Amino acid sequence: MESDGAGRRVLVLNPVSGSEDHVDDIVELAADHGFEIRKTEAVGDAHRLAREATSDADLVAAAGGDGTINEVVNGIAAADALDTTTLAVVPAGTGNNFAANVGVESIEHSFAVIEDGQRRTIDLGVANDRWFANSCVGGVTAEASCETTSEGKREFGVLAYVKNTLETVREFESLPLRVTTVEGPDGEATESWEGKAMFVLVGNCRRFTGARAAQANVEDGLFEVTIVEDAGTVDLLGEAALEGLFGRDSTHIVRRRAPSLTVESLRDSVQYSLDGEMLSTETLRLETNAKALGVLVGDSYRSNPDDDDRWPFNGQR
Ligand SMILES: Nc1ncnc2c1ncn2[C@@H]1O[C@H](COP(=O)(O)OP(=O)(O)OP(=O)(O)O)[C@@H](O)[C@H]1O
């Protein structure tokens, strides 16, 4: 039921995300919870439908995977309605990374969160002129992300992520890049890294560590940046080699925290994946927009995951 005093509720539904068997359940639950339902029919519809919805709805739910959420966030931003809109997520994609990171476990659970969840104001990222909620990844990961298996998409650690990606790619050329991170509020210095990278992983809501815990601090105005350097002739698919590469003593991983950064290709255009949506460019400028959007979150969401998790920056690893 629509709660007292609430404005209109619109649910943008991608009927072809994930295993495509979610439509009936979501339509029924959404109607029970007072939502008007707008189904997408093609790529780009979720953006348009969300943009249109903001003119008279203050709660917009995105039902689909990370790509659908990305379009909905961009639609809300295009309507200049980030300040006045609350986003809810109904996980109906393959990996549902963003939903997991904000503590939303299933379709049924998402409607419980819509009624009783907490509203947190989270950071969003902007990459050139496109918004993203979860992560921006460049390099082989981006090119391979559409081939990644659903099981692989649920693996969160950088080790599993990189291994899974490399298994889907036979030949890979590393990227000559310059990554310049800008100084942050907690003493982070402006730093420039230049070299050959296999991956550049920029997490807003998502972190890429050796651990499986996936949620980054999404209220701190900072990205968590992980550069995986080209490891040369190592057999990358060997488990032991990967442990050596990406383990705690690794010299092949560069980590930074920064409110903004620039990734410049020293060769051709690079493919980036923004929450799974592709962008190709030579120069990518990334900025956090601190506390940009209200999102309904479940109980397992942590405003500061470092309080109960270990992260390389807090000196515990
Ligand atoms: N009706 C439609 N027909 C075809 N494509 C659509 C339609 N509606 C949305 N799309 C596109 O489907 C793509 C994939 O959707 P989405 O990322 O939400 O699901 P997924 O890939 O199954 O899940 P995840 O990204 O969480 O792994 C998006 O790029 C979106 O633009």
pLDDT at 185: 82
pLDDT at 148: 46
Which atom of ligand 1 is least distant from the CA of 41? 1
pLDDT at 50: 98
Residue 170 reports pLDDT greater than 70: no
Q: What is the CATH number of the domain that holds 191?
A: 2.60.200.40
**Inside any domain, residue 44:** yes
In a shared domain, residues 102 and 135: no
Pocket test residue of 11, 12, 13, 14 for ligand 1, highest count of atoms within 8 A of CB: 14
Residue 264 half-sphere exposure toward CB, CA atoms < 13 A: 7
In a shared domain, residues 309 and 175: yes
- Ligand 1 centroid vs 48 CA: distance in angstroms? 14
Residue 262 to residues 130, 209, 270, 272, Cα–Cα distance (Å): 14, 21, 13, 13
In a shared domain, residues 142 and 274: yes
- Ligand 1 centroid vs 129 CA: distance in angstroms? 21
Residue 223 reports pLDDT greater than 90: yes
Question: Are the C-beta atoms of 257 and 204 separated by less than 8 Å?
Answer: no
- Closest protein CA for atom 26 of ligand 1: 65
In a shared domain, residues 165 and 72: no
**Inside any domain, residue 227:** yes
Report the pLDDT averaged over residues 119-136. 97
Report the pLDDT averaged over residues 38-65. 97
Which atom of ligand 1 is least distant from the CA of 276? 25
> Where does the pLDDT of residue 7 fall: very low under 50, low under 70, confident under 90, or very high at 90 and above?
confident
> Where does the pLDDT of residue 315 fall: very low under 50, low under 70, confident under 90, or very high at 90 and above?
very low
What percent of the chain has a predicted confidence (pLDDT) above 90? 58
Instruction: DSSP letter for 304, please.
Output: -
**Inside any domain, residue 278:** yes
Contacts of 180 (CB under 8 A, 6+ apart): 190, 191, 192, 193, 261, 262, 264
In a shared domain, residues 137 and 283: yes
Rounded Cα–Cα distance for residues 298 and 103 (Å): 4
In a shared domain, residues 159 and 212: yes
Contacts of 220 (CB under 8 A, 6+ apart): 123, 290, 304
Identify the residue whose tokens are 């739910």. Answer: 61
> Where does the pLDDT of residue 107 fall: very low under 50, low under 70, confident under 90, or very high at 90 and above?
very high
pLDDT at 313: 47
Residues contacting ligand 1 via CB (< 6 Å): 14-18, 40-43, 45-46, 64-68, 71, 93-96, 153, 276-277
Q: What is the CATH number of the domain that holds 41?
A: 3.40.50.10330
Structural domain harbouring 245: 130-290+304-314
Instruction: Indicate the residue among 59, 88, 116 that finishes a domain.
Output: 116
In a shared domain, residues 21 and 66: yes
pLDDT at 317: 33
In total, how many domains does the chain have? Answer: 2
**Inside any domain, residue 273:** yes
**Inside any domain, residue 207:** yes
- Ligand 1 centroid vs 204 CA: distance in angstroms? 21
Which atom of ligand 1 is least distant from the CA of 64? 18
- Ligand 1 centroid vs 122 CA: distance in angstroms? 23
- Ligand 1 centroid vs 75 CA: distance in angstroms? 15
The burial class, CB within 10 Å (0-12 / 13-18 / 19+), for 139 is buried
* pTM: predicted TM-score of the whole model, two decimal places: 0.88
Four-CA torsion 160, 163, 164, 169, nearest 10 degrees: 160
**Inside any domain, residue 157:** yes
Residue 9 reports pLDDT greater than 90: yes
pLDDT at 217: 92
Mean model confidence pLDDT for the chain: 84
Name which residue leads in pLDDT, 312 or 59.
Answer: 59
Which atom of ligand 1 is least distant from the CA of 68? 18
- Closest protein CA for atom 2 of ligand 1: 42
In a shared domain, residues 35 and 176: no
In a shared domain, residues 160 and 308: yes
**Inside any domain, residue 124:** no
Report the pLDDT averaged over residues 16-38. 94
In a shared domain, residues 92 and 135: no
In a shared domain, residues 152 and 106: no
Residue 187 reports pLDDT greater than 70: yes
In a shared domain, residues 157 and 86: no
**Alpha carbon 47 to its chain's center:** 17
- Closest protein CA for atom 28 of ligand 1: 67
**Inside any domain, residue 3:** no
Q: How do residues 246-282 score in pLDDT, each as one tens digit?
A: 565 566 788 899 999 999 999 989 989 899 888 999 9
pLDDT at 130: 97
